[in-house]
Amino acid sequence: MQSHQIDNLTITLNKTGARQFTKVSYPIRYGRYAEIKTPAYTYQFNLNHEIKYIQGHGNGWPSPSEWLKRTVGNDWVYYLAGDYSGVRDAFGEYYLPCPSYPTNSFISRNPFKDRAVTAAIDAWHDLREKISTLASDTRPEHLKQFLKQVGQNDPVELDRKARRFHRIIAGPITVLPPDTRHVDYEVIPIIIADGCLYKCGFCRVKSRDDFTPRTRKNIIGQINQLKAFYGHNLKNYNAIFLGLHDALYADPDLIIFAAENAYDLLGLKNTHLNGAHLFLFGSVDAIIDSKMLFFDTLQSLPYSTCINIGLESADQQTLNILKKPITSEMVAQAFTKMLVINKKYSKIEITANFVYGDHLPPSHLPSFFELTRKKLDRPSGKGTVYFSPLMNGSVMEHRNIVRRFYKIKTQNPLPSYLYLIQRL
């Protein structure tokens, strides 16, 4: 690994990050990347020479442990370190991603209102223009090409690429499964079915479409186009999200077909990261109808798999208020099946979402505890429950939400975290 000095820029190509997604309390990078260091900032680039991370040194930068990340959908996300034990207990990670767009986040601090954070993004635009000028006189050739391409990846080009990405999968991903936090939300999405079954009244991310599986031809087309889209940077990915809101309800053969072809055609065996991960959402009907034979096959694939099921509440009154057209008996049945699958399969984890908020019926939380107490006689490390705060139009104080959540967490025999909605 050789560094080059041009003016006050230290440029290092082919930096090697960690091969394994790890939960650590310091900034960590994965796979391979390039870096340009200035006295004020560190800029890091993916293998397509697109800006991916910015971290400030001094200049009012909020904390040496915090950074900005740009997603493939061209959104900036600020990684907030906060108080380590608090963030870890509430979210399961040492860092709290704060997107630049409105989400279900109840964090009172908006990093994008911080002058030092917006100045870092502005400084990046200035640097890119300087780099474009420097590139023509730079030697050796590979460094010149790097600078040239960094210069070409301007905001217009990055926006064009994000639109191309969304065209391939036929629309943005409005919400990623909460389990994708295990790979820092770095997933390649492949849509195998659009729409969803329930169109619940409370849901902000639903599509108007009825549940419609994609054809095998469409799935292969997406994989091939995504392979071309990710290009050199494909090797920095080892995780697939089979979308959209209820991939588990698709024909089991279609799910396995998509997972196997993604692994083979995207070359997940030979990436810069260890192992491979698969993420899906599933509905209550999907998990109830699923056959153990399907999970046997899933277990035999070269992935570790997380399937997130939207249970929302074990209380019929709450389900009615949420306008979720399922019964509390179905929720109990789905929950039981989740526990059975988690016990039987070492490489599969079924996780669940429950809603959480001030205005829900008083029977909501007791019914959750009754369900878990009935079905579990001891704590389990598998079967994470995510609580999704519902705001009901009013802003609940962050501290209030977290404090009340801790009470639930300590009484729940399953790992419990708050769900942060992120798009792609």
What residues line the site for ligand SF4 (CB under 6 A)? Answer: 196-200, 203, 205-206, 245, 283, 310
Residue 188 or 196: the one with the smaller Cβ distance to ligand SF4 is 196
Q: Shortest CA distance to 98 belongs to which of 402, 401, 417, 420?
A: 420
Residue 24 or 205: the one with the smaller Cβ distance to ligand SF4 is 205
Residue 147 or 196: the one with the smaller Cβ distance to ligand SF4 is 196
Distance CA(163)–CA(170), nearest Å, equals 10
Q: Are 350 and 342 in contact (CB under 8 A)?
A: yes
Distance CA(181)–CA(184), nearest Å, equals 5
Distance CA(312)–CA(95), nearest Å, equals 25
- Closest approach, Cβ 173 to ligand SF4, in A, equals 12
Residue 131 or 284: the one with the smaller Cβ distance to ligand SF4 is 284
- Closest approach, Cβ 245 to ligand SF4, in A, equals 4
Q: Write the CB contacts of 345 (distance below 8 Å, at least 6 apart in sequence).
A: 295, 298, 299
- Give kind and range of the element (H or E) at residue 252: helix 252-265
Q: Is the dihedral of CA 318, 320, 326, 327 positive or negative?
A: positive
- Closest approach, Cβ 307 to ligand SF4, in A, equals 13
Residue 11 or 326: the one with the smaller Cβ distance to ligand SF4 is 326
- Closest approach, Cβ 41 to ligand SF4, in A, equals 39
- Closest approach, Cβ 76 to ligand SF4, in A, equals 26
- Count of Cβ atoms closer than 10 Å to residue 38 Cβ: 16
Residue 63 or 327: the one with the smaller Cβ distance to ligand SF4 is 327
Bridge partners, 395 (sequence order): none
Place of tokens 């999704």: 388
DSSP assigned state of 236: G
- Closest approach, Cβ 210 to ligand SF4, in A, equals 11
